[in-house]
Structure 1
């Protein structure tokens, strides 16, 4: 058997030919992207801040008279009404003082009446020269002095009556009581020591919060127009927001923090807001109609500014420069560059280039995403 040897050059050419005859690699599949629709809808302008709940009024109840505390007419933590009895101080000394003052007044009224009649008689007798002018003047002066004594007596009776009334201490405001600081049997004095109890008015209640100096001109512009809508959400997980209105704007900017203090009033019918509680406050200043909104993830930043990828009807991704405005919840207001209705890419931008064909997946609409619009953190 004779063997045939293929020259080296011929073998190399066969190898190259075989390599060239292999099939071309498969085309790369389109990148999968998620899109959402740019929508035209109302865009509230909302300022968000942290706030703290404070009572509408706080009253530290103290005694106005000295005496032994004989009764407490409420339990700690009770809600009380204005005028409701809270404490009773031993009233017997003040009842006796009132009776004494009234007796003194009755005595002096009799003396004053006698002096008045005597002055009238002397005034008539002096006309007939039966008494001297000096005697008549003395009788008139005595009657005037006793009239002044009567005024002092009436004032003493009124003071004694007030002391007796103050022996029964009543709630000055409606609200929720705190802990009892003085118990039955203790001697209480006016204006000294701790109050008997502290009452916080929590229905309605206030929320105090601050806005930055940057946002204050907008707040100032709209605060005088009408009652601005305010929403307070307690910090606890799952807490429901409470609706209220702006009630106070401070008259100066804090130079240390660069903020202005505001207060909002809430009816707090469900007692969901509690004094000292921290809440997130959303202050709605105005609503911009017919605004174009896209999810915040759609807006990208490049060397030439902000842009979005728009997917056309042929599933091609086109880069569109836009002017992004303020945030509205998790979305962004587009001031220029979109008309609304376009499909914008919200996920997968890193996998595509301008003009590339993409595989489209749909994200939730802007209206669904913007249930509680908030403009500024």
Structure 2
């Protein structure tokens, strides 16, 4: 009985709901209003426009690279010895002036070698002087012997002197000749002995000089691997130091950007047989700016010094080397640190375009078309040819005429011939001019 009542209640609820829905449907049908028809045209669409004008333009190429010193000194021992002197601040990170004595090895062995070589040279000089005096005497004796031999041979020819006397004089003369020849040979060998002694002396002096390590330029020490009283062998690495004179960044830049940039700075005529790239391309006309990644406002001015051989094997990018002179000169750590080893930098190369360019915001392009406002304030969809895009700018090669008004709003829908109410965006035109000249903030670069 209870189940029957429940089923009856559900049935009545459904019937009542259907009746209420039917009543509402009839009510809405009776009170519906017919659509209103208007003969007046739709209101013009308000749009922002800019006037297309040729603008002075700076071509840019952007990339990234890691800083490194332009010159690094790997101090290696050329001679062996015990460390007898070590600069008190010979530690990683220390800055030291040119000419500072950093390290000294025990020089006694090489000082003894110098003294020995100098003594040998002195001895050879004395031997030469003595030999020359003896040679003069022996030559005088030889002259007398030759004269006596001639006299005896004349007498022997007449029978006044025996043959035995003549032979004895001959033997004596030959002995005297041999003595002169021996002394002459000794003198001839002395220059070679002096040369060998001079070489040993020069080598000993060079070895002595190699026991002292003085800073060849203002430098910053890297890793140091030697301690006081330590014995070091020839060829052992001692420490590393970076020059403070200049730093370099090998920037990786897209090939298309570099090709476009360098194409504007190549000389018109080249001398036959020119091989040097700096003669083929005016690298000095390229401005270079480096910015420390992650530290807006920390930047350095540099110059392009060369294009490294080959492309980067991973990205196929061009490797352009930018040099920064005296990166420590204006350093103000921590706000403006110097450009140091392993700093990751953003590199911007730029040069002035030889001709003005028609530029529009890249956002104004719609699948190869620009929306224009004609002289009757009607929408015109114009296909254009884009030479290239640089950042948020598009360089128009053809399809756009100076003075035409380009719509910079995103119209939806964009119907050909629709009525417009153009409003010139002077502020955007000013920003466009600034961006064309490369006058952008660090925040915009990021």
Interval containing the TM-score (normalised by the shorter chain): 0.7 to 0.9
What stretches of structure 2 of length at least 5 have no aligned partner? 1-28, 146-172, 267-277, 332-337, 441-446
C-alpha separation in 2, matches of 1:263 and 1:185: 42
Decide which of 357, 361, 375 is 2:420's aligned counterpart. 357
Conserved? CA contact 2:46–2:420, under 8 Å? no
Render the CA deviation track for 1:226-269: whole Å, top value 9, x for unaligned.
22413322222304443333222345456775444332222234
For residues 105 and 196 of structure 1, do their structure 2 counterparts lie closer, same or farther at Cα, with a shift above 3 Å needed? same
Decide which of 339, 349, 353 is 2:401's aligned counterpart. 339
The corresponding residue for 2:8 is none
Greater mean alpha carbon deviation, residues 27-36 or residues 328-337 = 27-36
C-alpha separation in 1, matches of 2:220 and 2:58: 36
Conserved? CA contact 2:373–2:422, under 8 Å? no
> What are the equivalent positions in structure 2 for 1:1-377 lying under 5 Å apart?
29-73=43-87, 74-76=89-91, 77-129=93-145, 132-192=176-236, 195-212=237-254, 214=256, 218=260, 221=263, 222=266, 224-227=280-283, 228-229=285-286, 230-252=288-310, 258-267=316-325, 268=327, 269-270=329-330, 272-284=338-350, 287-301=353-367, 306-312=368-374, 315-354=377-416, 355-358=418-421, 360=423, 362=425, 364-365=428-429, 366-370=432-436, 372=438
C-alpha separation in 1, matches of 2:54 and 2:36: 54
For residues 25 and 119 of structure 1, do their structure 2 counterparts lie closer, same or farther at Cα, with a shift above 3 Å needed? same
How many residue pairs align between the two structures?
Answer: 354
Q: Which runs of 4+ in 1 moved over 6 A?
A: 18-23
Q: How large is the Cα RMSD of the aligned pairs?
A: 3.4
C-alpha separation in 2, matches of 1:154 and 1:369: 69
Render the CA deviation track for 1:263-320: whole Å, top value 9, x for unaligned.
222223446422222222233365142211111111111xxxx221223466443323
Conserved? CA contact 1:32–1:361, under 8 Å? no
Conserved? CA contact 1:247–1:263, under 8 Å? yes
Render the CA deviation track for 1:136-171: whole Å, top value 9, x for unaligned.
111112233334322222222222222222221122
The corresponding residue for 1:4 is none
Greater strand fraction, Structure 1 or Structure 2: 1
C-alpha separation in 2, matches of 1:240 and 1:373: 16
- TM-score under structure 1 normalisation? 0.80
- TM-score under structure 2 normalisation? 0.69
C-alpha separation in 2, matches of 1:56 and 1:155: 36
What secondary structure sits across from 1:326 in the alignment? strand
Greater mean alpha carbon deviation, residues 208-217 or residues 94-103 = 208-217
Greater helix fraction, Structure 1 or Structure 2: 2
C-alpha separation in 1, matches of 2:84 and 2:39: 100
Render the CA deviation track for 1:182-211: whole Å, top value 9, x for unaligned.
12121112203xx22112224322221344
| Structure number with bigger Rg | 2
For residues 168 and 37 of structure 1, do their structure 2 counterparts lie closer, same or farther at Cα, with a shift above 3 Å needed? same
Tell me how far 1:372 sits from its aligned partner.
2.5
